[in-house]
Copies of this chain bind each other. A is one copy, B any other.
Amino acid sequence: MNLVLLTEEDFQQGNLVSLTGERAEHIIKTIRVKIGDSLTVGLINNLMGIGIVTELSNTTVTLCVELNSQAPTPLPVRLILALPRPKVLRRTIAACSSFGIKEFVLINSYRVEKSYWNSPLLQPEQLNKHLTLGLEQAKDTILPSIRLAKRFKPFVEDELSSLLESSKGIVAHPYADDHCPKNTSGHITLAVGPEGGFIPYEIDKLAEAGFQSISLGPRILKVETAIPFLLGKLL
């Protein structure tokens, strides 16, 4: 945790914030603050700043907060991700949130196991928890949105084309002929398939919607490894 993420409800009185629970425990036991120490803080979907520790117990931390700086610029990338297994999803959305991606769509694909759609992780509060971990890691306050598109065809046919009017569509596909473009400018909509890749029908549908298929070479990478690598290449 490199930033303590606050909500409006945390503010008690003016600029005084009193924390209990997980955040307080981390600040007290892991960071091991003393009175007078300063922490990087941020108000969710708002400014970042500094919190000075003014009171401290075994379970509560009080901070005097000054918010005065903007969150870092979001990454100009929308991620469309074939729903991975929950363990991978958790890590991937936290990592992508730390990169500054603000818009996620989790879609179905032929190779997505149906049971993944029943995971409790897909509850909004659970998703937000892992997105928040990414914000706290990266020092950011702007909470991303995640949309679930459980039906591949209507989403791709009815919605993706219009999303691509102001964004370049790229789909990572192990069997594509084109290499990943480098140092692109403008907004990108990046689609990443399941382990094993999208099936040809899905790649065709994505191509109809305007996506370019690109390959990362002969090595088969895990989703959670491939995405940061793709972002490094594209940006």
A interface with B by C-beta (< 8 Å):
2, 72, 95, 98-100, 137-140, 182-183, 217-222, 225-235
Measured between C-beta atoms, what is the minimum distance from A70 to chain B in Å? 10
Chain B contacts for A232, CB-based, 8 A? 228-234
Of the candidates B139, B225, B227, B233, which one forms a contact with A220 in the assembled complex, judged by CB atoms under 8 Å apart?
B139
- Copies of this protein, total: 2
Q: Flag if A95 contacts B222 (CB, 8 Å).
A: yes
Q: Which one of A72, A231, A232 has the highest number of Cβ atoms from chain B below 10 Å of its Cβ? A: A232
Of the candidates B137, B139, B217, B222, which one forms a contact with A218 in the assembled complex, judged by CB atoms under 8 Å apart?
B139
Cα separation A100 to B234 with both chains bound (whole Å): 20
| 9 pairs of A and B residues whose beta carbons are closest in the complex | A232-B232, A228-B228, A138-B219, A229-B232, A232-B233, A228-B229, A72-B218, A95-B225, A2-B220
